[in-house]
Chains A and B, each alone.
Chain A
């Protein structure tokens, strides 16, 4: 594809990308779409998923397998209408500033893919197809089991009948399904084809950095079960004084939490299977991790250090509001984007956490001991918190969180150490040293 330039050495605006899912039902397309959307949104890249099934359900809420038979004229018409409606909405969304739109549907024929290319391409939007092709019976069965219990298509139906019907539906799709470039005439498309859960992958005609980033992320995803544990450091000396940042040691109660943490972790893990522990480079997290069992591998990451408050480091909120009243107000108005003078914003923290998220996705069981703002950002990734909300999430001290990613969202369990600590949560506009009463952990 030729570079878009205006001829005098200045290039025009950035690309917009439409990610088009391709594949038979029960191949994990929605899981992939959902993960990709979460990752991009977390990186502040406007992303949205348009699920054709949701549009179709308005018209045909509980269709039987026959509906998906290509010989069923009525079904075909309705499905086509649903796809058109989804694409129309996506284009509208792109006009409002969308960057990555994900079209979640089977798109299993060449004709349908060509149609998407034509309609979307006309608006100067790049199209990347992401196909999940899988013949592993076990994985398909697991997906079918999941679908028959969670899909709105089968709400209120007998699970066994639902499963049978769903299998028939898949069979109807199989009749017309064509994998991308099966006939060798789709070589011009940009696509990622993941076969048999990543055993083989084809990447074709990646056009820009953002596309390569999406592809890289999708290649790092794995579907083995695992959990991520998050904890803040124990209460620190500066916490007691209501001062932010710094690099202080733990308070007595903080030290008590560090001693209790191994039991808390053991209780949550349920066995002595070792976790890998990631801390920041600041004393308070390293001290919090030091009583954990020796066979836990420990790594320090600079990227897990607390949000840098710049000039305000080590101050109380009252001092900040006295010295920099405008800054204090500006931060409350847009906490996510506000960058401390000479310091960082939540947005900056998210960017520096990106390699951590990539490592997390490919790793298995990890325990992260870090700081309030950093935990908020990681939490926002797993829980799809918006940028307005994530900087305000209460993450109480002396509490262990266990996050377990599932197909349609993340499960959270909370373990309290029952050791007293000050509250470091701050409500909008407040300059209190220790907010009282603090909200129950929103997590």
Chain B
């Protein structure tokens, strides 16, 4: 195998995330990290789940059919479940082969291409496939998602045969779209950043783009191969056709996930619950303190104001004057989260309580200081240090237990069409954030969510974006941190990880006069967008037509 080339691709991929950072969606990381499986149900000797063996999920569909969005979401979900998953974009290999600025020949996708084009195509395909085998055979991978157009039935048949020879099962997943509106919408999203279409009417640009696809890839056969396992997703999830020859659980699971997936963009806000009178006690499940109630009011105000501002901005920039998307609030059944949602309830917003979202159970560590834990349970503390994600103190839940319990919530989160505000304990926010932003299990127990901030997650096809919004008007000295946590025993505390840069600075280091500042100035603190490179990657992927 050409390892050099693989490395080159990884290094050239603009989305490659530095390992230490949790604030960029890590779904595209190429890492050998064993710690990316928050909700793994159980482990087997082989490290593969559901006794399913090795699987190739082969994408089928023309460009502008939302394949990338499906790949990325599926990889996110499967990894979260503990299935070792990796996406192989054939486009990455094509770009690496033809070099920067290079172009494939005009007849590259034609069925009757010239011998030179055929050779080039075979060469690129082989490299990609070799990488897939290497990963499945030597890196203990379980699901390889092969992202390419795969337009012909004969090509797909031989692909399944080839994978079969390597003892890999194949599940095809076709995204089939015949709804003009969806096509145009997808095309508009893809071509936005391309210089080719600059200055064109959006609709005209989309049309031109779609036409170009047809010119480049003249032959496309939708899946009808009876002997193959395939799922056909029609018009972005409006319908599914499922041809099941020999598959079982994992593919059901994927279909279940896909039936809940939708592409419409809606945002998720994460906020913490207000402080309780008895912060340290898990069992007493106490009500909010006075500060907690004050916080609930301020937080509610900040969320609604932010939404209103966003809407105004859209209108000011010439966007359509649409009503706000509905907002739904989810809390756990713990008293303090329910009470924190009261101001929303009073305004008539729908608040749903989910018992699965209760905070992590601290077990014997309840009310104990870190030192006390070390004294009382020295062996446990040592184990915890080694694996803070999976280790479970006596009678306590591990983060892993929490993630498994949160799984139904993840599905509902994907299904939800309304904007969503999640009011929960920090431990719950950590795990949900890790799903949306793909964090390593080593980082999850250390993520920090400040009490005076709202985290907003905006979904996008290629990767999700996170934004932090300040809640004005809170006294920073009275913004408690998270005393109710199981102390994460790490030695030495080398700085807490924050999901978002800047979040980790302890409250005490804030400018002391922050609260004295005039209201106006405070509210003027703009929402900060977490920097990432979505634009670049989109540009890069424009010609992804393999």
Contacts and interface: CB of A to CB of B under 8 A. Distances in A.
A342 B284 contact: yes
A2 B401 CA distance: 37
A10 interface: yes
Contacts of B355: 347-348, 351
B401 to A, nearest CB: 4
A329 interface: no
A343 B283 contact: yes
B401 A341 contact: no
A93 B259 CA distance: 29
A212 B284 contact: no
Interface string B240-256: 11111100110010011
A215 B256 contact: yes
A205 B285 CA distance: 42
Given A10-B349, A351-B355, A200 B284 contact: no
Given A11-B350, A301-B42, A341-B284, 10 more contacts: A9-B324, A10-B348, A205-B238, A209-B260, A209-B416, A212-B411, A216-B256, A220-B249, A220-B252, A347-B355
Contacts of A206: 237, 259
A209 B415 contact: yes
Interface stretch (B197-205, B313-321, B389-397, B492-500): B389-397
B285 A341 contact: yes
A201 interface: yes
A66 to B, nearest CB: 38
B343 to A, nearest CB: 14
B323 interface: yes
30 contacts: A3-B418, A5-B323, A5-B326, A8-B323, A9-B326, A10-B327, A11-B350, A11-B418, A201-B240, A201-B255, A202-B242, A203-B239, A204-B239, A206-B259, A208-B415, A209-B412, A216-B255, A247-B394, A247-B395, A302-B397, A302-B398, A302-B401, A303-B404, A339-B333, A342-B281, A343-B283, A347-B355, A348-B333, A351-B356, A355-B408
Contacts of A235: none
Nearest to A216: B256
Interface of A: 3, 5, 7-11, 198-206, 208-209, 212, 215-216, 219-220, 247, 281, 299-303, 308, 310-311, 313, 339, 341-343, 347-348, 351-352, 354-355, 359, 362
B400 to A, nearest CB: 8
Interface residues of B, number: 54
A200 B228 CA distance: 11
Contacts of B240: 201-204
A367 B327 CA distance: 44
A299 B42 contact: yes
B239 A202 contact: yes
A203 B326 contact: no
Interface string B123-159: 0000000000000000000000000000000000000
B282 interface: yes
A8 B324 contact: yes
B151 to A, nearest CB: 23
A215 B394 contact: no
B417 interface: yes
Nearest to A220: B252
Contacts of B356: 351-352
Contacts of B411: 209, 212
B328 interface: yes
B529 interface: no
A11 B245 contact: no
Given A3-B418, A209-B415, A341-B283, A203 B405 contact: no
